Amino acid sequence: MRAFNLPLRHNLYWVLWGIFLLFLPNQLSAQEKSNQIPKPIQKMLLTSKIPDSSLSFSIQRLTPHTGLSQLGWQANQAMHPASVMKILTTLAALDLIGPQYRWKTNLYTTGYIEHGTLKGNLYWQGFGDPKLVPEELANMMLELRRLGIHSIAGDLVLDRSAYHPSVKDSAPDDGEPKRAYNVAPDPLLYAFQTISFTISQTNSKPVIQYTPRLTGLKIVNQLESVTGDCSNWSKSFKNTIQKTAPLQFTALFSGNIPSACSQIAWNTVALEPDTFFKHGVMAAWEDAGGQWKSPPNIVLEKVPKHAQLLISYRGTTLSDAVKDINKLSNNVMARHLYLTLAVEKGLLPASTADSFQIVQEWLKKNQLPMPELVIENGSGLSNIERISAEHLSQLLTKAVKSPTADYFIHSLPIAGIDGTMKHRLSDRLKKVFSSTKSNDKVFTPDPSMPVKLQQPGVLMKTGSLSQVRSIAGYVISKSGQVYALTSIINHPMAPSGGPVHDALLTWLLEDGLNDLK
């Protein structure tokens, strides 16, 4: 066979063409993804005295465009996320349990009903309803009344076996035991074990109201109204709650309240869990028209197999719980939701280790491996939880196409509107909204996106701890581009990092990604 010899010049052409093809994927990749900090954010980091080594962010463009599709900075670094960890918890729960899921609380008895009196103990079996509030308890008491019961002659037996005792230790001790966010998970948690006091003023005299009603709680009001603004109202304000008799408690208020304060909300964790639950149930039963033959005692034990079911009450829906968790960053509800993953798998008593295993399996199923992931309790209120900005943004990207996308997206705080973003970016968003309304050609929404992502704005979960500031969610720009964004700052100066994140959000609203190469 005769050899087919090409001229050297021709051979060189094909060699160079081969080299070009070899490097073409890398060139395209460089156009699609970049690792840098935009100049406006660099400037704000300097102003906030936060080193760029303490920042990690990941931006993923979710709508078609010829420019960069991804931008990041230290995006794969394991970071302390604070409350943006709730995104992983809520997305997993929406997918695994479903938005229409309702928590149940069962009431049993080993006694019998005679002439309207329940003669025997009333057993309460809880499964961690995260929002068992006064309205829900009132409904339960009305259901008891509809069974023909008007009097109870027995004790209250509490079955908290749904949770492993170790779950109470799955959060750091920050020295603030009276703060509602520090309440430990409890299968029979009532009203977050928190009394919400409202202090208003009538004829220059402070007036105190509270919820939930607790039998035996007395308010002693020694507050005085003084001239002054409301900026530092708690300076001389004091509140203590003390037991004064076997079934009596006194909430003492003393000090001064500035006259400029029209209304003050004061929330405090009160009493022990058993005592709080007992006095709450006693009050709710009395308010429903029920009576006690004698004050009930509290007994802690499991419901016996031979007990008769009186009521299986269905509480809040998972979708409503997810809204409170993400919009209001409710830590207690997030911890309950995380444990519910294990409860619904029948892993009783549920532990955080069980829930972590379930989340890991869910991530694997969805092809989202996260080797750096550390979850202590699912709320982000932790010193050890870790996740990367890249993986959170990947999760947000995948969430847009999930069957429960609308439930999740509606749960995120809306900048300038509600939740933890209510007072952020208001002025910037007004300019964006006005420009899109005045020129319809500027804003072009992507019809393939969920409806909530077809209008300009910022839907963003926030997180904050002493050395953490974080955001994660979606930005819909002035042109209609949709971005999934996660940004985390871990540094002692993190509390001054809010403007850094606002600068990043503003930059995306203005489609800053289009100008990068």
**pLDDT tens-place string over residues 302-345:** 999 999 999 999 999 999 999 999 999 999 999 999 999 999 99
Q: Which residue has the tokens 């519910």?
A: 340
Q: Are strands 248-258 and 238-245 parallel, antiparallel or unpaired?
A: antiparallel
Q: Give the domain-ending residue among 259, 285, 317.
A: 317
Residues 155 and 303 in one domain: yes
Residues 264 and 150 in one domain: yes
Q: 172 in a domain, yes or no?
A: yes
**pLDDT tens-place string over residues 359-397:** 999 999 999 999 999 999 999 999 999 999 999 999 999
Q: 336 in a domain, yes or no?
A: no
**pLDDT tens-place string over residues 392-419:** 999 999 999 999 999 999 999 999 999 9
Residues 204 and 75 in one domain: no
Residues 212 and 75 in one domain: no
* Cα Rg of the chain, angstroms: 28
Q: 348 in a domain, yes or no?
A: no
Q: Give the domain-ending residue among 317, 344, 359.
A: 317
Residues 159 and 267 in one domain: yes
Residue 171: per-residue pLDDT: 80
Q: 176 in a domain, yes or no?
A: yes
CA atoms within 13 A on the CB side of 379: 28
Residues 62 and 109 in one domain: no
Residues 218 and 143 in one domain: yes
Q: 424 in a domain, yes or no?
A: yes
CATH number at residue 458: 3.30.450
What are the Cα distances from residue 186, in Å, to 274, 311, 351? 10, 20, 12
> Helix and strand tally (H, E) in the chain?
12, 23
Total domains present in the chain: 2
- CB proximity list for 178: less than 8 A, separation 6 or greater: 268, 269
C-beta neighbour count of 116 within 10 angstroms: 13
Q: 339 in a domain, yes or no?
A: no
Burial class (CB within 10 angstroms; exposed 0-12, middle 13-18, buried 19+) of 510? middle
Q: Are strands 122-126 and 156-159 parallel, antiparallel or unpaired?
A: parallel
What are the Cα distances from residue 392, in Å, to 46, 156, 380, 386? 26, 44, 13, 11
Residues 69 and 144 in one domain: no
Q: Report whether pLDDT(13) > 70.
A: no
Nearest to 163 by CA among 136, 145, 186, 179: 186
pLDDT band at 440 (very low <50, low <70, confident <90, very high): low
Residues 174 and 281 in one domain: yes
Residues 67 and 158 in one domain: no
Q: Give the domain-ending residue among 317, 348, 378.
A: 317
pLDDT band at 444 (very low <50, low <70, confident <90, very high): very high
pLDDT band at 101 (very low <50, low <70, confident <90, very high): very high
Residues 46 and 112 in one domain: no
Q: Go through 454-491 and write b for each residue having 16 or more CB atoms within 10 A of its CB, e for each that does not.
A: bebbbbbbbbbbebbbbbbbbbbbbbbbbbbbbbbbbb
Owning domain of residue 494: 32-81+402-515
Q: Max Cα separation, the chain?
A: 113
Report the chain's terminal Cα–Cα distance, integer Å: 52
**pLDDT tens-place string over residues 105-145:** 999 999 999 999 999 999 999 999 999 999 999 999 999 99
Residues 109 and 156 in one domain: yes
Output the DSSP codes for 44-55. HHHHHT--GGGE
pTM of the model: 0.92
